[in-house]
Amino acid sequence: MANLLLKNALILTMDQALTTVQRGYLQIRGDRIAALGEGEPPFSEEGYQVLDCSGKIVIPGMINTHNHLPMILFRSLGDDVADRLKRYLFPLENESLDAPMVRAGADYAFAELLFGGVTTCYDAYYFEDEVAQAAEACGIRAVLAETILEGPSPSAKEPYGEWAYTKWFVEKWKGHPRITPSVNCHAPYSNDTEHLVAAHDLARREGLLMSMHVAEMAYEHTGCVERYGLSPVAYLDSIGILDEHFLAAHSILMDEADLDIYQRRGVKVSYNAGSNAKSAKGVAKIRQMLDRGIPVSLGTDGAMSGNTIDIVTQLSLVGKIQKLFNGDRTLFPAREILQLATIGGARALGMEGEIGSLEVGKKADIAIFETDSVNMSPLYDPYSVIVYSANPGNVESTIVDGELVMHRRQLRSMDFGAVKARLLAYQEQIRQTAAELDRALAEG
Ligand SMILES: [Zn+2]
């Protein structure tokens, strides 16, 4: 693979100073950024594959910090069902899923991420080794975990059957250049104290990120208060598992005392704007979190919750929901929202030294937007254009680890036609399972 040289590019580096290169170059050698600057490259172009980025906007690859990728198999089912997780989603997954299906879903989901300029994703699901193999094959960077819960689950009929799987998975994938294992407990309401503490011990012993859904459900909150006399956040803190290697998804139902705990412990947050709005669960107080120095990143949740899994679609939702929620249109300027999607995601995953901004020495993870499409002009403020005007279809190329994995809307690391055919091969089977569920729900 030739080294890449991007020329004539408008570059939003998302570095600490938010340096914007108006018309410049970015040199990639191997998997890292070797140089970038204004104007023409001050070195020979020989031996480089040159991408002329005239009229294009180059940004760091976007980072999705909360997903359940293979759930894309079920996208558009059960969108409006009340108490959907327990009445619809868990039964549908338990009835349907096996390892080959998870692989088919993961391949398709990774295609959507790469088409949308997402270069790193956090995922937790079942049969996660299939997701890891899909990630390895398609060239994306990923932090991955088997979901641990009391169960039953698609991959374990016995309570906590995912424990042995998690240990095996961590051993198998640790040390991989692009795939980082993680420890994931589903939620405070689907795990007991003993297993939460043990999961945290495992994560600390192996130096891994632990992640969980936290302060998301009303019944999670009332259940915790009834059982422990504490909010979910206070309960998790009381058992000693909150720290700077803990990534909390959602974190909607939070009071000031909960925010104090996150701040004190260095907990990181994945904000899922679209999924939270669609499920009518509330709005996470990310302004207050950021003002307290709590790292906030963006996630989508699974495609049955948020429907799309790219990050471009989330950007304008973040701005609109937060401005409306806080009654202040000056909050969250576009460049701050793009920070959440890039360097914010890197911080949430503990990878800010390697990814999240375009700086010499960092990994070459990059999204390139075209500006020829009708929605992309004029271009007075490129941050605003990316956040409020762009859609994922405007991403023209995606580079991960120095490799051009999507170029001119063509995936180079997978055969999208074959991937789509394998996903759709499950459609009739899933349709029948869903119809049975719908009938059972209608009968009460
Ligand atoms: Zn989730």
Domains, in order of start, for the chain: 3-60+363-411 (2.30.40.10), 62-348 (3.20.20.140)
How are beta strands 403-407 and 62-64 bridged, if at all?
Answer: unpaired
CA dist., res. 313 & res. 318, Å (int): 9
Q: How far is the CA of 438 from the centre of ligand 1 (A)?
A: 22
Query: 97-107 as b/e, with b when 16 or more CB fall inside 10 Å?
Result: beeebbbbbbb
Name the burial class of residue 351, with classes exposed (0-12), middle (13-18) and buried (19+) by CB atoms within 10 angstroms of its CB: buried
Q: How far is the CA of 86 from the centre of ligand 1 (A)?
A: 13
Beta-strand runs (E) in 216-352: 246-250, 268-271, 296-298
Q: How far is the CA of 272 from the centre of ligand 1 (A)?
A: 9
pLDDT in tens, 97-156: 999 999 999 999 999 999 999 999 999 999 999 999 999 999 999 999 999 999 888 988
Q: How far is the CA of 212 from the centre of ligand 1 (A)?
A: 8
Nearest alpha-carbon partner for 304 in 282, 274, 349, 345: 274
pLDDT the model gives residue 1? 59
Neighbours of 408 (CB within 10 A): 10
Determine contact, residues 96/89, Cβ cutoff 8 Å: no
pLDDT the model gives residue 397? 98
Dig out the tokens for 126 from the structure.
Answer: 């079942």
Determine contact, residues 333/18, Cβ cutoff 8 Å: no
Q: How far is the CA of 7 from the centre of ligand 1 (A)?
A: 39
CA dist., res. 41 & res. 5, Å (int): 9
The four Cα atoms 255, 260, 263, 266 give a dihedral, to 10 degrees, of -90
Which stretches of 116-192 are DSSP H helices? Answer: 128-138, 162-173
pLDDT the model gives residue 51? 98
CA dist., res. 15 & res. 113, Å (int): 23
pLDDT the model gives residue 40? 97
Give the mean pLDDT per block of 10 residues along the chain (444 residues): 91 98 98 98 95 98 98 93 84 91 98 98 98 98 97 87 94 98 97 97 98 96 96 98 98 98 98 96 97 98 95 98 98 98 98 98 98 98 98 98 98 97 96 90 83
Q: How far is the CA of 85 from the centre of ligand 1 (A)?
A: 10
CA dist., res. 235 & res. 218, Å (int): 15
Which stretches of 342-396 are DSSP H helices? Answer: 343-348, 382-384
